[in-house]
Amino acid sequence: FRDDQKEVDFVLKKADTLVAIEIKSAHEGLSHSGLDVFVKKFNPKSVYLVGPGGLSVEKFLTTPLNELI
């Protein structure tokens, strides 16, 4: 998802259900403006931040997709 300079890394869709996923590699510059815009526009079921300050990469990669949606 991209809106001007704001973006969300991944969007999952199943029927009418949306899930936003943002991947971060460092604590510095943890701007969530893309997620904020996406949430306001689409009201997703879930939003996941993967990386420092959120879900660990290992946990994200081992979680079955159907549990995220």
pLDDT for residue 29: 58
d(CA 31, CA 54): 13
CA–CA separation, 43 vs 38, rounded Å? Answer: 7
**Phi-psi map region of 29: left, alpha, beta (phi>0 left; psi -120 to 50 alpha):** left
Among 49, 47, 56, smallest CA distance to 18 is for: 47
The pTM of the full predicted model, rounded to 2 decimals, is 0.83
Residues 25-65 have pLDDT tens digits of 876 555 678 899 999 999 999 999 999 889 999 999 999 98
